[in-house]
Structure 1
Amino acid sequence: MLIKITAIATLLLTSSISFASPSSPLKTATFEQLAQQQAQTAPLQIIDCRNSNFYNGWPEAQQQNGGHIAGAVNIDANWLKTLDTAAFQTLLRDKHLKSDLPTYLYCSADKAQQLTTALQNQGYHSLTTIDQPLNDYHGKLIALPHFQQLVPASWLNDLITGKHPRYAPKHGYKVVEVEWGPPAKYLLDHIPGALYVNTNTIESKPWWNKVNNQALAQVIANLGIRYDTTVILYARNNMSAARFANFLMYAGVKDVRLLNGGWTAWSNADYPTEHLPNYNKTPVAFGKKIPVNPQYLIDTAQVKALLRKPVNQQSVVSVRTWPEYIGETSGYDYIKPKGRIEGAKWGHAGSDSYHMQDYLNPDQTMKSGNEITAQWAKWNIKPDQDVAFFCGTGWRASEAFFFAHILGWKNISVYDGGWYQWSANKNNPIAEGTITPASVH
């Protein structure tokens, strides 16, 4: 028993960042002092250690405006609970933070102290905490253009408990969990009031494209959704929710929202759940002819037409792993051909076809818009272009598409057939092998 206890203790000590007392007293400053330092030529760095929803643009309680200070990177101090030392070091590298630069942090005092301690343990010595609420900051805060469409779990909890939160729906709402297959996990636990959509009802064989418009309209009607209904989607892995979001936007639903962090965010917040299924009893008329926005989904012929445009005017974006992009693997056991659409740019993804780490924070919320934009820009994927995202069959591409929408990108779409449909036709041009970002500029 002693051996087991010792092993468990060792595991706990190595599985998360230490919260030991800081090696030196915390330095504090005001936003005015930060502004004075920014006005000088010496470089500094700023960390917003609040929840990513506040960073994106959601106002905190008793605060009129949300968003972040220009140039600030987001590291929610709560992420430390799930990061080991190696993962934290990787996070700091990904944020391009340097231990020898003066570093300013702003968030609540307890969170600032936790992150300060963790940074000191990584060799950061010039650390200063802003000891004022963000309401006292008089500069312009930066918010994502459509941050309201990416909702916090706290906002959704307020909504379903009747508290009338800011940016509440104007014409009724539906909460929908979206998963592949029968509702096994949904029946164990789901967000109160949530309906359920099996992706088999919105995708069709052989390529797992969107079902025909009549079938899609029937699914939407059965959920009780009109074009002016606010629809809040979530999943255990938000890729499937984003897939349905793309279809609903294509159909013409004006207000489609995604729970930031999906089921993980709801579960981490320990909000109430239920297990009895919910059904919409009476189908409703959509109120518009579907599709209202056909441009959000494109086919193979449209991809080919897009690729004929100059490279600086278009991006066909492969939201797949690097091994998939260069042709080392197809990424799926049911897709045999390997490679990429010839002319496609790499849009990043994750470790495999079921993960999107390059787009997500450690708590599964959307990564900083600046970081996503930067990883796209490196591959000449820019907001003024005509941009089509694809993956294997559309799920990862839909999440990238929805994040681009949150960022305010206009001319965006999902190539519905993806690599599966493209690669099935040997006449479609494909490419393999490593290339550099410079090759797509």
Structure 2
Amino acid sequence: MESLVSTEWLEGELGAPDLRVIDASFFLSAEGRDARAEYEAGHIPGAVFMDIDEIADPSNPAPHMFRPEHKFASRMQSLGLGDGNRFVVYDNSPLHSAARGWFMLKSFGAHFVAILDGGLEKWKAEGRPLETGKPQVRHAHFTAALDDTVIADKAYVSGIVHSDGHEIVDARSAARFTGEEAEPRPGLEAGHIPGSKNLPQGKLFNPDNSWKQGDTLRRAFEEAGVDLSKPLVTTCGSGITACVLLFGAHLLGKEDMKLYDGSWSEWGADPATPKAVGPA
């Protein structure tokens, strides 16, 4: 299965016994939208709802941090997601949060994980089928084995600030990156990690919400000043949209990359970390 699948392909595969479809929509509280309620009002047939807030580690003060392996496995099992399944993740969010679902599943050892190109927006625009409510799911067995080499912590990022050998790329909006716009979460300084580049995640998509690909996608990274020949660390507000950049780089064949899971929610809250404001 390819990492990016079309709406046509997915409709043709619905009902396959090994296929599991996942709605990973997520919204910031300021948007005033309820992802679970929207899922229950209309989703791709058979899809289950992955609550990104619920899957996060509640013991960590930073939001959306990875849970321990056994707890992640338990959440997946309760959704009927098991070993040997093919997973297709989609969203209906301007944050393109399906990429977070993709990254978590891959990081914990799932082999066959794809994102639906264009998400629910494209699916609905094409008049494809929807269902409402919550599907009945059968408990599955999910073996979680976290590849911690794809996760960067604050100490790691602190060690590569201004390093010529790495690229740190921030998926937040330009106004949040430069510090012109206040952070939506209280207690955070404005600005960005010194030496980082800014590539707002929305720049990786076409007007119909499909992913840019090939040279068009590569150009988005180049225009942000990102050298994809260097090891890549992505960051954002809380580790959600940073995964969009990881998936975009993955589509270009890149493998040496990490997510700074704490992102600005951790970095911006720590008075000891260096901060920069203004353009990169």
**TM-score normalized by the length of structure 2:** 0.88
CA apart distance, 1:201: 1.6
1:152 aligns with 2:6: yes
Counterpart Cα distance in 2 of 1:427 and 1:331: 18
Counterpart Cα distance in 2 of 1:331 and 1:369: 33
Note if contact 2:213-2:251 (Cα within 8 Å) is conserved in structure 1.
no
The within-5 A match list for 1:229-240 is: 229-237=85-93, 239-240=96-97
Give the equivalent residue in structure 1 for 2:31. none
CA apart distance, 1:290: 1.6
Counterpart Cα distance in 2 of 1:150 and 1:300: 31
C-alpha spacing 1:373/1:182, structure 2 compared with 1 (3 Å): closer
- Residue type matched to 2:85 in 1? T
Identity over aligned residues, as a percent?
Answer: 24
CA apart distance, 1:308: 6.2
Counterpart Cα distance in 1 of 2:47 and 2:133: 10
Counterpart Cα distance in 2 of 1:247 and 1:375: 24
1:346 aligns with 2:198: yes
Give the equivalent residue in structure 1 for 2:54. 201
Counterpart Cα distance in 1 of 2:23 and 2:259: 21
Larger RCO (CA within 8 A; separation ≥ 6): 2
Task: Give 3-state SS (helix, strand or coil) of 1:301's partner.
Answer: helix
CA apart distance, 1:335: 5.2
Counterpart Cα distance in 1 of 2:15 and 2:57: 36
CA apart distance, 1:381: 1.9
Gaps of 5+ in 1: 1-146, 163-170, 350-355, 436-441
Note the aligned Cα RMSD (angstroms). Answer: 2.1
The within-5 A match list for 1:409-428 is: 409-428=254-273
Give the equivalent residue in structure 1 for 2:98. 241
Give the equivalent residue in structure 1 for 2:19. 173
Counterpart Cα distance in 2 of 1:240 and 1:379: 21
CA apart distance, 1:391: 0.5
C-alpha spacing 1:365/1:335, structure 2 compared with 1 (3 Å): farther
1:190 aligns with 2:46: no
C-alpha spacing 1:336/1:425, structure 2 compared with 1 (3 Å): closer
Counterpart Cα distance in 1 of 2:239 and 2:71: 18
Q: Of 175, 184, 208, which aligns to 1:332?
A: 184
Give the equivalent residue in structure 2 for 1:103. none
1:214 aligns with 2:70: yes
Note if contact 1:387-1:413 (Cα within 8 Å) is conserved in structure 2.
yes
- Residue type matched to 1:343 in 2? G
Note if contact 1:348-1:375 (Cα within 8 Å) is conserved in structure 2.
no
Q: Once the two structures are superposed, what CA deviation does each residue of 1:249-303 show, in whole Å capped at 9, x if it has no partner?
A: 11011111001111011101101111131142223142xx521x22222211121
Counterpart Cα distance in 2 of 1:387 and 1:279: 40
Counterpart Cα distance in 1 of 2:224 and 2:156: 21
Q: Once the two structures are superposed, what CA deviation does each residue of 1:190-248 show, in whole Å capped at 9, x if it has no partner?
A: 11111111112212352112223222121122233334321100111262221121111
C-alpha spacing 1:285/1:148, structure 2 compared with 1 (3 Å): closer
The within-5 A match list for 1:243-322 is: 243-286=100-143, 290-291=145-146, 293-307=147-161, 309=163, 311=164, 313-322=165-174
1:228 aligns with 2:74: no
Note if contact 1:249-1:296 (Cα within 8 Å) is conserved in structure 2.
no
- Residue type matched to 2:259 in 1? V
Give the equivalent residue in structure 2 for 1:372. 217
Q: Once the two structures are superposed, what CA deviation does each residue of 1:41-83 show, in whole Å capped at 9, x if it has no partner?
A: xxxxxxxxxxxxxxxxxxxxxxxxxxxxxxxxxxxxxxxxxxx
Count of residue pairs brought into register by the alignment: 269
Q: Once the two structures are superposed, what CA deviation does each residue of 1:59-108 show, in whole Å capped at 9, x if it has no partner?
A: xxxxxxxxxxxxxxxxxxxxxxxxxxxxxxxxxxxxxxxxxxxxxxxxxx
Counterpart Cα distance in 2 of 1:380 and 1:333: 28
**TM-score normalized by the length of structure 1:** 0.57
Note if contact 1:315-1:345 (Cα within 8 Å) is conserved in structure 2.
yes
The within-5 A match list for 1:12-91 is: none
Note if contact 1:298-1:416 (Cα within 8 Å) is conserved in structure 2.
yes
- Residue type matched to 2:62 in 1? W
CA apart distance, 1:418: 0.7
Note if contact 2:23-2:89 (Cα within 8 Å) is conserved in structure 1.
yes
Gaps of 5+ in 2: 27-33
CA apart distance, 1:306: 3.1
Q: Of 193, 217, 240, which aligns to 1:395?
A: 240
